Structure 1
Amino acid sequence: MASLPILKILEESHVSPPPATVHDGVLPLTFFDIIWLSFSPVHHLFFYELPSVTKTHFIETIVPNLKQSLSITLQHFFPFSGNLIVFPDRKPEIRYAEGDSVAFTVAESTLDFDDLIGNHPRECGKFYCLIPLSPESTKELDHVKISVFSVQVTLFPNSGISIGMTNHHTLGDATTRFCFLKAWTSIARSGSDESFLANGTLPVFDRVVNYPKIDEIYLKNLEVETTFFKKEFQPPRLSEPTDKVRATFILTRIVIDRLKKWVLTRIPTLPYVSSFTVLCAYVWSCIAKSRNDELEMFGFMVDCRVRIDPPIPAAYFGNCVALCMSTAKTDLLTGNEGFLNAAKLLGENLHMMLTHENGVVTDRWPFDGLFSQGMPTTKMGVAGTPKLKFYDTDFGWGRPVKHETISIDYNDSVSLSACKDSNGDLEIGSGKADVAADVAAEMGGMVGQSGVDDELHLSVSRNSFEDIQGINGWNLEIWHVSIHRFWKAISGVLSLYPCRLRNQKFWRENKVLECAKLLGENLHKMLTDKDGVMKEKWAYMGLVAQGMPMTSTGVAKTPKLRFYDMNFGRKWEAKKAKMDLDGL
C-alpha cells in the first residue's frame, strides 16, 4: 500500500495591501542591504499547539483571519509585498506597485507534530515542506525581479498549525522582521490596526543610512552584473534528501553566568565579556572539537542602529547590521583552553570593532584582510539574538510552542534565541550533519572544563513520564559536566541525541520505545529469575558476549529516597544548587 503524502496543498493565493491604501514606492538599498543580494533566503517556522483544531475551523476561521490581518499589516510594511529589483549598472531597490502581493500557501500535513516541536534530533528534511519556496526570479529587459516575502500556513489535524515565512535577506534584518511580526500578530488578535497604531511603532523608511562610496565598494565586490545578468540567477533552495539533523540545546542562565565568571577569572584583562560573546565562544569551541579542520571562521551580526553617529531610529526599516568575524586555527579552539581562547578572540575583536576610531562603518570591503592566515575550511556564524522575543508572537491562539530558524541549514550556522519557558535561558538551534552526536557531547562537557568535579546533574520534569509521547520534550538541565564520553553514553541511552557509530537502533523513530523495551525486559528477567536476584556466578559473566561496549554508564541513587527532606534545624533545607562551583 502506498504511503500517504506528508503534505497536501489546499490553496495557493496571494495577499495584497487593501486597495488604494499604499502608493507606489521605491526603497533604495544601502550597503547594509546590498551585501545580502546573492545570499540564501531566510526561513522561519513557528509551531502553535491547537489540540482541538479541525480542518473546517482551520479553513473557515484561522486562514481568513491570517489573510485579512496580513493584508492590513502590509499596508504599513509595504516592502514586504514588493519585489527586489536588481540593475546591472546602478543600485538595487525594493519596488512596490499597486497589485503587488505576498504568495500565501495553505497546506495540510501528516507529519508528527509532537516530533517536530521537540528539542531532540529530528531529520532536517522533514521541515522543508513546511516553509514556502522563494518564487523564481524573472529577468526583464533591464533588470532582474525577485519576490521578497512569502507565507505558508500548515494544518496538523487535532494537533496544531505551523506558520512558515521566507524572505529575501535584503528586505531587512531580524529587527525589521520582528517589528513586522509584532504588527501582524497585534492586528490578528484584535481584528484591526487600531491597537497597533496606538501602542506599536511604525517603520521608518527614510534612507538615513547614506554612504554612497561604501555602496559602490559593495556593488563592485559582489560583481552584480556577472551574478545576475551573465548567467541565470535563482535564489538557493533547501531540498531533500539530507543527512542533517536538527536539535535544540537549552543553556540555562546559571550556566551562562558561571561561564562568564570563569572567563573573567581566567582573563581579567579581557576588554569585552558578555553573555552573548561567552555563548558564541562556547558554541564555537564545542563545534570545533567535532571537526578535523585546520582553520575556522566564526561570525555574528552587530546591530548598528545605536552605534552610528548620529544614531539610526530603532524602527529603521531594512538591514542595519555589521558582521564581526574572527578566524583561528582549530587546535587553538580544541585544547583544554579552547573555550577561553575563543572567548578571548571574540571579545577582543568585538571590542576592536565597537571602539574603532572610524566607528562600526568603514569605507572598505568587510572581508579585506580577513583571510591572511588562509581560507578557513569551516565558516559558521550565529543567526538571531536573544534580545528579540520571537516566542511572544501570539496570533490569538497563545505563544508558539516552538520556533525554528530553518535557514541555518544552508551553512554551518546555529540559531540563537531567548528560551520559550524561562527568562534568561537561551535556546541554541543546530542543523548539523553526522557530527551531531559529537557536537552534543562537547556541548555537554564544555561546562566542566575547569576540572572542579566530574558530576552530571539532570533535571527531568515529571510530566514527561506521564505520557510516552512527551518523552522527546524532556527538559535537561546541565549543571556541571566534564566527562564528555559519559555525556555521550547518557544521551545515547535516553535517546536524546543520535549515537553515531554506536547503536543505530536508538536512532530510529521508535528510539525511546527501543530503550524502554531493552531496559524493561532485562529488569523483568532479573526480578523473575527462578534462582532469584542473587546468583552463584560472577555478575559480568556473559555480559559482553556481543563485544566490549565503547562506553558504559549507570544511574546512581533512587527517587524513593527523599534527600531533599533533610533538615538540620533552623529551617535549613537542602538546596537544588548543591554543588560547590566556586572553582569556576
Structure 2
Amino acid sequence: MEIEVISTEFIKPSNPTPDNLKIHKLSLLDQLMHSRYSALVFFYQGHDTTLSTSQISRTLKSSLSQTLTRFYPFAGKIKDRLSIECDDGGIPFSVARAQSSLSRFLDRPDPRAIQDFLPRATFKLVDTGSRVAMVQMTAFACGGIAVGMLVAHVVADGVGMSTFLKAWAARAHESMDDVWPDFDTTLSLFPQYEAFPEKLSFASVYAPCYQRGWCGARRLVFDASAIARMKDKATSSRLQKPSRVEAVSALICKSMMAAVRPKPKAMLMAHYVDLRRRATPTIPNYAVGNHLFLAVARFCPTESNDLAIIAGRLREATARVDGDLVKGLQGEGGFLKLREAVGEIKEVISGGMNGGGGGNINNNKLDYLGFTSMCNFGLYEINFGWGNPAWVTSIGLPGKKPIEIPNINYVFLSDTRCGNGIEAWILSDENRLLALEKDPEILEFAVVDPSPLKMLLKSNL
C-alpha cells in the first residue's frame, strides 16, 4: 500500500507545564522496561462522519494539545535513563494519505504494511533525546481514517497508554467522561534506584533467548464460543475456572512447542502481569506509569500435550506475582526485593539453558515464549467523534521485505470487536509459523489471518 506523509508538526500542550514539573522521574518499575515504543493503530470507517480530512486533522490536533496539558510527560523527551524532560516540545503529528480504500486494506491486511500507519518503526530503540510519544493520522481515499500512536514504554504501560487515548478521545468529542492522570503515585510507591544495573532490566533478562532468524507474523482470532470450549479443556483440579487469556495462552504455548521439528522442546512461558489490582490498596488505572512484572513457567516436552497442565502452571506462575511481592517492591528497600525477584527469573532461564527441566535445546538456548495482553482495555470504545474503530491492532513487522533480525517468540493478545473474542499476533520464525497454522488444534479453535472487514460485517449483523 502506498502511503505518503504530507505534513508533520509538533503539537504542544495548550498550557505550559509548570516549572516544578519540568523533570519527570522514572520509577523503579519504569526502569525495568525495555527501551522501545508501544504501538497501537485504530482504523475508522468514513461513513460515520461528514467531516473533511482537514477538519478531522484540526479536531485531533486541537484536542491533543488540550490533553497534553494534563499528560505533560507525553509532550516531553527522554532526558536520560532516570528521567523525562517535560520541555513542552510536543508530540510530532504526521498527516499521511493512502491511495487505496480502507475496505481494501482491511480485507486482508499485510502485517508489514501496518508499520506504514505509524510515525516510526516500533523495532527501533528509544534513545536519549527521543520524543516520548508520536502520532500519525492517515486518510484513505474512501474517507476512512487510521490513527497510529507510539508511546515510549518507560513512561507508560498499556493501561497508561489506553488511559491517555481515552482522555484524548473524550476531549475530541467533548465528552463529559474526562480523565485526570496521576504521575506521582507510581514514583512515590516505587522510588527509582539511581544505580540501577542494566542487567536487571527485563530486556537483559531474556536477551540470552534471542536468536537470529527470519521473523514472521501470524494473526489468530478466537471467537467467544471457541474460547468457551477451550476453557472447558483447560479446566482441572488445580484450575477450576480458567480465564480466556489463560486458555488462549495455554493453547498457543502448546502448539508452539509442538511446532518445533523433529520433536517438541522445552519452553519458558513469560507473561506480563498487571500489579495494580494485586496491590493493597489497589493502584488506580489513572496512575500512569509501569505497573508490570513477569510471571514465568517452564514446560518440558512431556507436558506439551496437556492443555490443562499448561493453563494450571500459568495460573500458579501469575499467583506468585502477589500482594507480598508488590509490597516488597515498594519504598526504599524496593530495589533489593526487585533484584531478588529478577534473580529468580534468571535462574529459571539459566536452568533451562543448561538443560535443567527440559533438556539441552538449541545449543543450550532456552525456547522462550513471551506474552503481552491488552485484553479488557476498552480499545474498541475509543471514539474521537466519528464512531468506534472498525479494527485495532498493536503489531506489525519491520520493512517491506522479510529481514533477518534478532527475534524471539512473542504473542500480543487483544480483544476482538465483537463479543469476548481474542486476537493474537504471534511473532516467530517462518518455519514454526508454517507448522503452527497447520496445527489441527489451532484450526479447531482459531481462524488464521481472517479479514477484519468480514469480522466487522459479522459484528454489525
TM range (shorter): 0.7 to 0.9
1:307 deviates by 1.7
Q: Matches of residues 9-28 of structure 1 in structure 2 within 5 Å?
A: 9-20=5-16, 22-23=18-19, 24-28=21-25
* 1:504-553 deviations in Å (ceiling 9; x for gaps): xxxxxxxxxxxxxxxxxxxxxxxxxxxxxxxxxxxxxxxxxxxxxxxxxx
Q: Matches of residues 49-128 of structure 1 in structure 2 within 5 Å?
A: 49-50=45-46, 57-58=52-53, 60-86=54-80, 92-97=82-87, 99-111=88-100, 113-118=102-107, 122-128=109-115
Q: Is contact 2:221-2:424 (8 Å) kept?
A: yes
Q: Is contact 1:417-1:428 (8 Å) kept?
A: yes
The amino acid of 1:57's aligned partner reads S
Q: Is contact 1:70-1:184 (8 Å) kept?
A: yes
Q: Is contact 2:275-2:326 (8 Å) kept?
A: no
1:25 deviates by 2.3
User: Equivalents in 1 of 2:283, 2:453: separation in Å?
Assistant: 46
Structure 1 partner of 2:312? 344
Structure 2 partner of 1:150? 134
Q: Is contact 1:188-1:396 (8 Å) kept?
A: yes
The amino acid of 2:115's aligned partner reads Y
User: Equivalents in 2 of 1:213, 1:317: separation in Å?
Assistant: 14
Q: Is contact 1:106-1:152 (8 Å) kept?
A: yes
The amino acid of 2:409's aligned partner reads D
Greater relative contact order, per chain length (Cα 8 Å cut-off, separation 6+): 2
Structure 1 partner of 2:155? 171
Q: Which of these residues, 28, 32, 48, is aligned with residue 29 of structure 2?
A: 32
User: Equivalents in 1 of 2:390, 2:456: separation in Å?
Assistant: 11
Cα gap change, 1:263 to 1:50, in 2 (>3 Å)? same
Q: Matches of residues 96-245 of structure 1 in structure 2 within 5 Å?
A: 96-97=86-87, 99-111=88-100, 113-118=102-107, 122-133=109-120, 144-190=128-174, 195-196=175-176, 199-210=177-188, 215=193, 218-219=196-197, 221-222=199-200, 244-245=216-217
Mark the runs of 5 or more structure 1 residues left unpaired by the alignment.
228-241, 449-455, 477-584
Structure 2 partner of 1:378? 367
Percent identity over the alignment? 20
Structure 2 partner of 1:555? none
User: Equivalents in 2 of 1:319, 1:280: separation in Å?
Assistant: 22
Moved more, 411-420 or 71-80: 411-420
Q: Is contact 2:96-2:139 (8 Å) kept?
A: yes
Aligned residues: 414
Mark the runs of 5 or more structure 2 residues left unpaired by the alignment.
205-213, 330-336, 354-363, 399-406
Q: Is contact 1:408-1:415 (8 Å) kept?
A: no
Q: Is contact 2:186-2:289 (8 Å) kept?
A: no
Structure 2 partner of 1:256? 227
1:271 deviates by 7.4
1:214 deviates by 7.6
Q: CA RMSD in A?
A: 3.7
Q: Is contact 1:354-1:360 (8 Å) kept?
A: no
Cα gap change, 1:286 to 1:211, in 2 (>3 Å)? same
Q: Which of these residues, 430, 433, 438, is aligned with residue 435 of structure 2?
A: 438
* 1:178-201 deviations in Å (ceiling 9; x for gaps): 1111111111112xxxx45xx333
Q: Secondary structure of the residue that 1:373 maps to in structure 2?
A: helix
Answer 1 or 2: which has greater strand percent: 2
The amino acid of 1:396's aligned partner reads G
User: Equivalents in 2 of 1:41, 1:343: separation in Å?
Assistant: 30
Structure 2 partner of 1:354? 322
Moved more, 179-188 or 11-20: 11-20
1:49 deviates by 1.1
Q: Is contact 1:44-1:407 (8 Å) kept?
A: no
Q: Secondary structure of the residue that 1:27 maps to in structure 2?
A: strand
Q: Is contact 1:22-1:78 (8 Å) kept?
A: no
User: Equivalents in 2 of 1:276, 1:405: separation in Å?
Assistant: 17
* 1:37-81 deviations in Å (ceiling 9; x for gaps): 43x321211111115989x921x2111111001000101111110
User: Equivalents in 2 of 1:457, 1:315: separation in Å?
Assistant: 34
User: Equivalents in 2 of 1:189, 1:426: separation in Å?
Assistant: 28
Q: Matches of residues 356-505 of structure 1 in structure 2 within 5 Å?
A: 361=329, 362-364=337-339, 365-366=341-342, 367-371=345-349, 372-374=351-353, 376-406=365-395, 411-422=408-419, 424-434=420-430, 435-442=432-439, 445-446=441-442
1:471 deviates by 6.5
Q: Is contact 1:41-1:407 (8 Å) kept?
A: no
Cα gap change, 1:295 to 1:108, in 2 (>3 Å)? same
Cα gap change, 1:207 to 1:472, in 2 (>3 Å)? closer
Q: Is contact 1:148-1:167 (8 Å) kept?
A: yes
Cα gap change, 1:68 to 1:330, in 2 (>3 Å)? farther
Structure 1 partner of 2:44? 48
Q: Secondary structure of the residue that 2:129 maps to in structure 1?
A: strand
TM-score normalised by length of structure 2? 0.78
Q: Is contact 1:42-1:407 (8 Å) kept?
A: no
Q: Secondary structure of the residue that 1:317 maps to in structure 2?
A: coil
